[in-house]
């Protein structure tokens, strides 16, 4: 993407903003991203029509307030950013926020919306889920459990996909054993993709009009397509009342990359 040399200089200034107190913040973030009992929020925004009409210098000043709010909350909540524009319907930005309490997520989003940048954001959707210990895995065969520990390949995974799911009342009406059997078949279908697709599950019942939020990262969208196709073919899929609607597809971006893109 093209940009002017003046804008480049102004970004330098932006990038010199307050930095996290390093190790502590990283430890907290690691914990928020890996432990059970953490709330994950997916907040989708569109930019209003005013934004694109602002002067470059105004946009850069506003983006500095954006950076300020994100930096301020980085020690309490883990914030990940995704660019949806150009890949998802009528949405521009996705924030994934992990926190031990949803009040902290609300505080962050309130301050974000109150910032000069935030006044240009229009809320397009919000979903919440909770991380929990695996429900069915303990009952799986040992070999399967071992394979599930396969780490996904190192290297950048530029794409993220978020698919909300609601099960049918019939699903919840099945006994635990029957559900476990179907989830084993479901999990077996995902095995060929463990290396190239990173995944994370959030439980939503009661927090939103969903039962689950499924989150994926990959560098190979073709593999992700094959994975979903496999999942559509297992028996458990018959008990899914909503799959997507919306399917959010975007690219993972650092705060500075997003700021640079939005300045244009």
**Binding to its own copies in span 145-184, by CB under 8 A:** 158-159, 161, 163, 169-170, 172-173
Size of the site for its own copies (CB under 8 A): 72
**Cα distance between residue 263 and residue 63, in whole Å:** 8
To the nearest whole angstrom, how small is the minimum distance from the Cβ of residue 247 to its own copies?
5
Query: Using the rule CB under 8 A, is 32 a contact of its own copies?
Result: no
In the residue annotation, 74 being an active-site residue is answered as: no
Instruction: Provide the 3-class DSSP secondary structure of residue 116.
Output: coil
Which of 88, 184, 187, 196: binder of its own copies (CB under 8 A)? 88
Angle, helices 56-73 vs 255-263, to 10°: value is 160
Say if residues 85 and 1 touch (Cβ distance below 8 Å). Answer: no
Site for its own copies, residues 198 to 227, rule: CB under 8 A: 203-209, 211, 221-222, 224-225, 227
What is the footprint of its own copies within residues 222-261 (CB under 8 A)? 222, 224-225, 227-229, 232-233, 235, 237-238, 240, 243-247, 249, 251, 261
179, 199, 241, 242: the catalytic one is: 199
DSSP letter for 151, please: P
Cα angle 257, 262, 264; round to 5:
105
**Piece of the chain touching its own copies by CB under 8 A; list 23-31, 74-82, 126-134, 142-150:** 126-134
Which one of 57-65, 113-121, 142-150, 180-188 is the stretch in contact with its own copies (CB under 8 A)?
113-121
φ/ψ of residue 242, rounded to 5: -135, 130
Among 79, 83, 93, 213, binds its own copies (CB under 8 A): 83
- Cβ-based nearer residue to its own copies, 82 or 140: 82
Q: What residues contact residue 124 under an 8 Å CB cut-off, 6+ apart?
A: 44, 45, 46, 90, 91
Burial class (CB in 10 A: 0-12, 13-18, 19+), 115: buried
Exactly one of 106, 144, 191, 192 binds its own copies (CB under 8 A); that residue is 106
Which string of DSSP letters, residue by residue, matches 179-236?
HHHHHHHHHHHHGGGTTTEEEEEEE-BTTBS-SEEEEEEES-HHHHHHHHHHHHTSGG
Residue 106: CB minimum distance to its own copies, A: 4
Active site residues: 199
């Amino acid at each position: 993407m093209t940009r002017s040399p003046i804008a480049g200089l102004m970004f330098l200034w932006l990038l010199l903003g307050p930095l996290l107190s390093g190790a502590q913040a990283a430890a907290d973030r690691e914990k928020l991203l890996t432990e059970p009992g953490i709330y994950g929020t997916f907040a989708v925004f569109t930019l209003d029509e005013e934004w694109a009409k602002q002067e470059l210098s105004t946009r850069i000043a506003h983006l500095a307030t954006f950076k300020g709010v994100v930096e301020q909350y980085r020690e309490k909540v883990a914030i990940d950013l995704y660019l949806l524009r150009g890949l998802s319907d009528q949405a521009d930005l996705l924030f994934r926020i992990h926190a031990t309490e949803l009040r902290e997520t609300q505080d962050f989003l309130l301050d974000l919306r109150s910032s000069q940048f935030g006044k240009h954001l229009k809320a397009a959707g919000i979903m919440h889920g909770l991380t929990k210990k695996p429900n069915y895995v303990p009952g799986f065969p040992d070999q399967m459990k071992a394979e599930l520990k396969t780490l996904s390949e190192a290297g950048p995974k530029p794409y993220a996909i978020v698919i909300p799911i609601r099960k049918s009342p019939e699903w919840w009406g099945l006994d635990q054993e029957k559900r476990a059997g179907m989830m084993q078949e479901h999990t077996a279908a995902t095995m060929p993709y463990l290396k190239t697709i990173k995944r994370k599950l959030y439980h939503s019942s009661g927090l939103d009009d969903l039962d689950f939020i499924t989150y994926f990262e990959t560098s190979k969208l073709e593999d992700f397509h094959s994975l979903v196709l496999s999942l559509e073919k297992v028996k458990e899929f018959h008990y899914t009342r909503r799959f997507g609607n919306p399917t959010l597809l975007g690219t993972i971006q650092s705060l500075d990359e997003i700021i640079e893109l939005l300045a244009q």
